[in-house]
A and B are shown apart, each in its own frame.
Chain A
Amino acid sequence: MSVMERPEVVESAAVSPAQEPQKREVLLDLANVSLSFGGVKAINNISFDIQRGEVRAIIGPNGAGKTSMLNVINGFYQPQEGQITFKGERRTQMKPHLAVSQGIARTFQNVALFKGMSTLDNIMTGRSTRMRQNMFWQLLYYGPAQREEIAHRKRVEEIIDFLEIAHIRHTPVGKLPYGLQKRVELARALAMEPELLLLDEPMAGMNLEEKEDMSRFIIDVNEQLGTTIALIEHDMGVVMDLSDRVVVLDYGRKIADGPPDEVQANQEVIDAYLGVSH
């Protein structure tokens, strides 16, 4: 089978030319969500929504409940109260692997790559929910399993090109520098072809140049692939530049929600970040 042939298993949504983002439709809606561990309220009665095609930032001081928020969105934690509606469907019980098949992918605050595997294999794991060939064909390898493998490899290679990591394709990710690991993680999330991409501090621990690269990739993903993005980030410059709307959390409560410049001027937000004198 030639490399040029387009396999049928692959949907061509991701790396197709820019779609016109329709900013009106609500992709994900959270209503009165609360989450607690023992007696500690990590998230306290929070409501907000994410619209299709936008870049939505979630900010707040350390311990504000931002990561817990992402964990609730992709089903890793079950909120005790509140409703979550994704793509117009009310969500009940949720498992992370189901969230992926519904179109939610994410990256992690502390890089969560599979250290013993190569870059390529790491990204290929992002395709696992889409692979169908059963154990029997896997045992034989040649035939359907190999065709499927090559089809997905082709898609993964497109993402590798897109994020400019072709040179580290076969390197074990444990050996890569931090900045590149973050990029591989983004690649793995993109390999899931998500409709909603959750990025947990994609620029933490990066130098200026790496941050600029990462910002460019995030914008490209949003504009060229049309992926909706929710991101947590501490670098305010990045947040203000990238995001369409910002939600601010503090101690598990929502204290502000709106366009970047509006949020920036909000007194409560300034207090939360700088502290208030009593």
Chain B
Amino acid sequence: MDALYLMFVDPFVQMADAPDFFLQVLWEGLVSGVLYALIALGFVLIFKSSRIFNFAQGIMVVFAALTLVGLYEMGLPAWVSVGVTLLVMYGLAMCVERVVLRPLVGQPDIILFMASIGVTMFLIGFGEFVFGGENKVMITEALGIPTGAIELNPFDGFVLIEEKDLTAVIMAVLLVLGLLLFLNKTAMGRAIRALGDDPQAALSVGISLSQIWVLVWFIAGVIALATGIVWGARAGVSFALEVIAYKALPVLMLGGLESVAGAIIGGIAIGLLEKIFEIYWGQPLLGGNTETWFAFILALVVLLFRPQGLFGERIIERV
């Protein structure tokens, strides 16, 4: 009876008892969720345009952040470092297209997936080789990101909102809006979507595959940098961050590999739920640290009942 009470009643009692704390938990979850969504978004873009399950997306986040901090430490001004990092990400996109994608075009999905794991390994090794393997601190202040905190007092309580988290959310929203505009309103964006729908047909109307790939990987790189800055500001910069990269994967399971909306909604949902679970169930009942697996198990359970994901259409198998 006690166990049942702790599992099914007590958490809700606590939520009702301290609504300000609950709001705080929601806010924390929302911020993580937004960042998961960003990583997942870079992923969806690459999958849509080149059918590659790009395992390296998460590592690109760390790599971009590491490059930025590394350049700053070498003495470049902060905003110049950002510019150079963008150049580096563009160079990375070109290299990936030339060295990995072009020779592997037409190979089965699984081969491309493996190649992206290879790229992941390479980036880890390369990043640590150039910038060292120790933890670094994100150059939050140099970039002009506010670091104060806003205090709110709902329900006669107290909710603390860090300004850098707020910046993260605002930046993510702007990034997503910009991306949607780009995809829907420009010729390049249309080309990317065409490639996602039917590569052969897209090629036959004169869309250049390698151009698009470089572009898409570069956009993914930009998203990675943005994510890297805001996440680095919260958690420091090191390859330990790759753990958050894995979080993008259950988001994709929930939202579907090809859905931009799915990535955003899935990311936020997972960010919120895993936080709530950790605080109200994980820590009191399971010894904590449930965030490492909760998202995966959640996605797994949802997929068992809806194999097409939350936003996919019903799969009809044909022969």
Partner of B319, one of A37, A38, A76: A76
Number of interface residues of A (CB under 8 A): 9
User: In the complex, which residue of chain A has the Cβ closest to the Cβ of B319?
Assistant: A108
Query: In the complex, given contacts A37-B316, A71-B319, A76-B319, what are 7 additional A-B residue pairs having Cβ atoms less than 8 angstroms apart?
Result: A38-B314, A67-B319, A76-B317, A108-B319, A109-B319, A110-B319, A112-B319
Q: Mind listing 10 A-B residue pairs with CB under 8 Å?
A: A37-B316, A38-B314, A67-B319, A71-B319, A76-B317, A76-B319, A108-B319, A109-B319, A110-B319, A112-B319
Residues of B within 8 Å of A112, CB to CB, are 319
Residues of B within 8 Å of A37, CB to CB, are 316
State A67–B314 Cα separation when bound (angstroms): 20
State A111–B289 Cα separation when bound (angstroms): 50
Size bracket, chain B contacts: under 10
- Which A residues have a C-beta under 8 Å from some C-beta of B? 37-38, 67, 71, 76, 108-110, 112
- Residues facing A in B268-319 (CB within 8 A) are 314, 316-317, 319
Shortest C-beta distance, A108 to chain B (Å), equals 6
Main secondary structure of the interface of B (DSSP, over half): loop
Q: Can you list, as one digit per residue, whether each of B137-161 has a CB less than 8 Å from chain A (1) or not (0)? A: 0000000000000000000000000
State A76–B318 Cα separation when bound (angstroms): 9
Interface-centre pick from B314, B316, B317, B319 (highest chain A CB count, 10 A): B319
Residues of A within 8 Å of B317, CB to CB, are 76
User: In the complex, which residue of chain B has the Cβ closest to the Cβ of A70?
Assistant: B319
User: In the complex, which residue of chain B has the Cβ closest to the Cβ of A74?
Assistant: B319
State A112–B318 Cα separation when bound (angstroms): 11
Residues of A within 8 Å of B316, CB to CB, are 37
Residues of B within 8 Å of A109, CB to CB, are 319
**Across the A-B interface, the 6 shortest Cβ-Cβ residue pairs:** A108-B319, A37-B316, A112-B319, A76-B319, A71-B319, A109-B319
State A76–B314 Cα separation when bound (angstroms): 16
Residues of A within 8 Å of B319, CB to CB, are 67, 71, 76, 108-110, 112
State A276–B259 Cα separation when bound (angstroms): 43
Shortest C-beta distance, A272 to chain B (Å), equals 23
Residues of B within 8 Å of A67, CB to CB, are 319
Shortest C-beta distance, A23 to chain B (Å), equals 30
User: In the complex, which residue of chain A has the Cβ closest to the Cβ of B317?
Assistant: A76
Residues of A within 8 Å of B314, CB to CB, are 38
User: In the complex, which residue of chain B has the Cβ closest to the Cβ of A40?
Assistant: B316
Shortest C-beta distance, A21 to chain B (Å), equals 29
Shortest C-beta distance, B313 to chain A (Å), equals 10
State A71–B316 Cα separation when bound (angstroms): 13
Shortest C-beta distance, B315 to chain A (Å), equals 11
State A164–B73 Cα separation when bound (angstroms): 74
State A95–B317 Cα separation when bound (angstroms): 14
Shortest C-beta distance, B308 to chain A (Å), equals 13
User: In the complex, which residue of chain B has the Cβ closest to the Cβ of A110?
Assistant: B319
State A112–B317 Cα separation when bound (angstroms): 14
State A7–B291 Cα separation when bound (angstroms): 59
State A76–B316 Cα separation when bound (angstroms): 11
Shortest C-beta distance, A231 to chain B (Å), equals 16
State A134–B319 Cα separation when bound (angstroms): 31
Shortest C-beta distance, B108 to chain A (Å), equals 11
Shortest C-beta distance, B92 to chain A (Å), equals 34
State A109–B319 Cα separation when bound (angstroms): 8
Q: Can you list, as one digit per residue, whether each of B240-281 has a CB less than 8 Å from chain A (1) or not (0)? A: 000000000000000000000000000000000000000000
- Residues facing A in B33-74 (CB within 8 A) are none
State A110–B319 Cα separation when bound (angstroms): 8
State A38–B314 Cα separation when bound (angstroms): 9
State A67–B316 Cα separation when bound (angstroms): 14
State A38–B319 Cα separation when bound (angstroms): 18
State A108–B319 Cα separation when bound (angstroms): 7
Shortest C-beta distance, B29 to chain A (Å), equals 36
User: In the complex, which residue of chain B has the Cβ closest to the Cβ of A96?
Assistant: B319
Shortest C-beta distance, A212 to chain B (Å), equals 27
Residues of B within 8 Å of A38, CB to CB, are 314
Shortest C-beta distance, A2 to chain B (Å), equals 41
State A76–B317 Cα separation when bound (angstroms): 9
State A37–B317 Cα separation when bound (angstroms): 11
